[in-house]
Amino acid sequence: MAITKRYSMTIVSVLVILVSLYFIPCDALRQHHKHKINTIYQFGDSISDTGNLIHEKPTGADLPIAHYPYGETFFRKPTGRSCDGRLIIDYLAIALGLPLLNPYLVKNASFKRGVNFAVSGATALNASVLSDNGLFEFYTNSSLDVQLEWFKSHLQSLGRINDGSSFFQNIRDHNKLITSKRLDKALFIVGEIGGNDYGFASILGKTLKEMTELVPQVILKAKEIVGKLIEHGATRVIVPGNFPNGCTPTALTQSVNNGDDKSAYDEYGCLIAANKIADYHNVLLQQALAELRTTYPHAVILYADYYTSFFNLIKNADHLGFEKVNVLKACCGTGGAYNFDFLQFCGTEGIPFKVCSNPNVRVSWDGIHLTQKAYSLIAKSLIRDLFPKLIKWILGLDIIGPQSSGVAHVISEVVDELHVPLLSFAATDPSLSALQFPYFLRVISIFVDDDYGRSGIIALGDALAKKRSKIYFKAAFIPSAPSSAIRDLLVQVNLMESRVYVVHVNPDFGLTVFSVAKELGMLNNGSVWVATDWLMVVLDSLKMSDPDTRNITQGVIALRHHTPDSDLKNNFLSRWSKLKASSSLNSYGLYAYDSVWLVVRALEKFLYEEETISFTNDRTVQDTNGSALHLSALRVFEQGQSFLQILKILYQKPPNKSTSSQQLSSSVIWPGNAAVKPHGWAFPNNGSPLRIGVPNRVTYKEFVANSSTRVKGFCIDVFEAAVKLLQYEVNQIYLLYGDGSKTPNFSDLVEMVPENKYDAVVGDITIVTNRTKIVDFTQPFIGLGLVVVSHVKGINSSA
C-alpha cells in the first residue's frame, strides 16, 4: 500500500512502544467492553450491608440503623447502612460505573447489575458451629452459609442452575467450567467477614487464647465459601481482610471497663491484643487465598488489605483531615472516654445520643462502624491497588516494562522483522555500571528469576570479577513469589557469613523482600544492602513516603538514574504538578516524556522528507491453524530504516555519567541506624566454631592452664586479644589435649591440625623445622634474647 505525502499526517500510524507503560493493542481495546465488569455480588456483614438486616425481620424497623442519624450525610434518610452515608461497596460500584447494590431481601428490587447478600451482624460460622464454641449470634443467623444459599436461589431465578447444587456437568477436568455470561462479567466480594465472630466472643468474655483458636475455623469457612462460588461460575473474587479492631471505640471501651493498663495499648492508642487477632486472621486468610489460586488457576482471587487502609487513617489523621484528638472516638454516642456505650447505642429510640457537628472529621461513626469519609478513603486505596490487577486480567494483557524486560526481548524480535523502530526508555536489562567499592568481596544477590533478573545478575557477576570480588550466593525468586517463599529463601541466606546483599527485583514486590528481611532481623547493624534502580523508582513515585516504607528501607543504598536540572525539566515538572497534583514523576516518567517528544519530532521530519509511506506483506510471518494471534495482519514498514536513522540523529548526545570526584555531602546511615561502616561479613549462623587445641599441661601453667570454669593463661590472653582486633566476630571452643597428669607431647598436638581434629593450636609451642612443614606459625609473641648456660661457683667455694 502506498499513499502520498499530503495525506500521511492524518492516516499514518507508527508503532511506538513505550516500555513500562500499558501497551494495549487495538483488538484488546475493542474487547474491553466485552469483558467489562457489569455485575457485583457482595457477601459479608454490616461493613457491606445496604439494608438486608432491617428487611430480614418484622421488627427491622425498630433497629437503631433504621433511624436518624444513620444515612444523614448523603442519603438524608436511613437506608439500613450502618453509616452516616455510603459504604465501601457503594464507592466500588460507582468506580465501575454501576448503580448502588440493592439488598437481596428487598422485594421487587432490581438485581440487574448485582445483589448485596451481606447482613449486619452476620458471622462467618453458622449457628451450630458457634454453639460448639460456646457462642451465639446476636442479631441475625444469616451467616455465610445462608448468604450462599440466597445466591444459589438467585441463580435459579435466572435459570442458571438446574440441580441447585453444582455448576459442573459431566466434567472430568474441574478447570473446564460451564460459564454463565452474567457471572463471566461479575465481580464477587466476600467480606469483610469474621469480625462479628471475634466481637461476639469478646463480649461473651472469651479469653484471648479462645478467640485465637476461633480464627482457623473462620478462615476455613471463608475459604470454603469462595471455593463454592468459583465452582458456581465466579471468576473474579475480592476477599477483604479484617480491620484493626483494636482501634475501634467498641474494643477500647471494653478495655477501659476491664481496667487494662497502659501496656495494653500501642503508640496510637489501639489495643495490641485485639489487633493481633485481626493480624492473625489476615495472615491465615492470605495463605488460604494462595491455596485457592492453585486449586482454581482460571480465577482471579485478590486480597483486599482493609487492615492497612484503616490503620493509615489513624496514623495519618492530621494529613487526611481527621481530628487527631478525636480519632478514636465515635461521632454518634452517649459519652464516655470513646463516646460509646454498649447499652445506649447510637440511633436507639429514647436514648439521649449526640452526633458530632461534622462526621467528616471523625473515623468512627457509631463506635463499631466508620464514617462515610473513612469508607471513601479506604475505597480509594483499594481501587488504586486492586482495579489495575482486575483490568490486567480482563484485557488479557501483560505490562511491558522494567518488571518484565523479557517482553522487551520478544518485542525486539517482532519489530526487527517488521522494520519498525523500537524506542524503549526503561529496558534496564542487563547493563549495570561497574562497581567502585573494592571492599565488596563476597556478595549475595537477591533477584527475580526471569530474563530481567538473570541477565542483571550475570552483568553484576562480571563487574564484581573485575574488582576481584564474586557473588557468593544467588538467591532467586520466581516472579510474584508469595511472602512465605521469600521468607524461606531469606532464612537460608541469613545462615551465611556474607552480609552484603544486592537486590535486583521488580518494583511490584521489591518492598516485600525488605519487609520480610526486616522481620527476620537482617536489616540490623553489620549488613550492607544495595538495591538496583527499582527501589528509587518506587520511592520517587511516592509524593510522600509512607513511614513503614522508610522504616524498611533505612540504610539501603539505591541506584538512581541521573537527570540533571534544567529550565526545560523544571518547566515540565511545574506543568505536570498542575495537571497531576497527587502524582509524582520518577526518572522513567521523565524518560517517557522525552521519548514521546523525540518520536513526534522524528515523525515530523520523516513526513517532511519522505514522499511516500508504504507497507507490504511479510510472507515469513504466517498464522498456524487455529491461531488467535492474527500474525498475517502484520505489515512490513518499507521506510522503517529511514525513520530509524532520523531517530538516531535526533538522539545523538553524550550520556549522563557520574565521576569519581563526586563525594557524599553527608555521612551514610547504614541499616540499623548505624553510622559506622559495616564489615559486610558475620560468623555464619549455621557455621561451626573454631576448634582450638590447647595442651593440658602440668608445668609452666603461666602460659596455659585449665581451671574449673575455663582455659586461661598468657598464651590464651594473647590469642583472644588478637581475635578482638578482627573486624568481625569469631566463635571458638577450647579443646584440651592430654590427661593432665603429665605434659603432653607438643609434636603430637601440632599434628592434630593437619589431621583436621583441630583448626588451630594455642600454647607456648616451639617453632622447629619439622613442625613448620605441616602447619603455619604466628610470629613469636614471647620476647627473644640470648640465654647463656654456665657453671656458677659459690663465693666461699675453693673450687
Please give the positions annotated as active site.
46, 366, 369
Neighbour count for residue 257 (Cβ, 10 Å): 11
**Phi/psi-derived region of residue 134, left when phi > 0, alpha when psi is between -120 and 50, beta in every other case:** left
Whose cell is 634474647? That residue is: 785
Identity at 522, one-letter amino acid code? M
Angle between helices 640-651 and 587-609 (to 10 degrees): 130
Q: Which residue has the cell 535486583?
A: 504
Round to whole Å and give the CA distance between 760 and 733.
11
> Cell 479462645 identifies what position?
210
List Cβ neighbours of 280 (8 Å cut-off, separation of 6 or more). Answer: 212, 215
Helix (H, G, I), strand (E, B) or coil at 748: helix
**Spatial distance between the Cα atoms of 387 and 240, rounded to a whole number of angstroms:** 14
Name 52's bridge partners. none
Dmax over Cα atoms in the chain, in whole Å?
A: 139
CA dihedral defined by 429, 433, 434, 440, rounded to 10 degrees?
A: -80
Provide the pairing of β-strand 236-240 with 186-190: parallel
Distance between CA atoms of residues 553 and 672, nearest Å: 10
Quick check: bond before 479 cis, omega within 30? Answer: no
User: How big is the CA angle at 537 (ends 534 and 538), to the nearest 5 degrees?
Assistant: 90
State the Cα–Cα distance between residues 449 and 472, nearest whole angstrom: 17
The dihedrals phi and psi of 98, each to the nearest 5 degrees, come to -110, 155
Residue 424: what residue type?
S
Vertex 310 angle, CA 306 and 311, to 5° = 115
Q: What share of the chain is helix, strand, coil (3-state, %, to 5)?
A: 40, 10, 50
End-to-end CA gap in the chain: 130
Amino acid at 306: Y
- Class of residue 126 by CB neighbours under 10 A (exposed 0-12, middle 13-18, buried 19+): middle
Q: Which residues does residue 73 pair with via DSSP β-bridges, in sequence order?
A: none
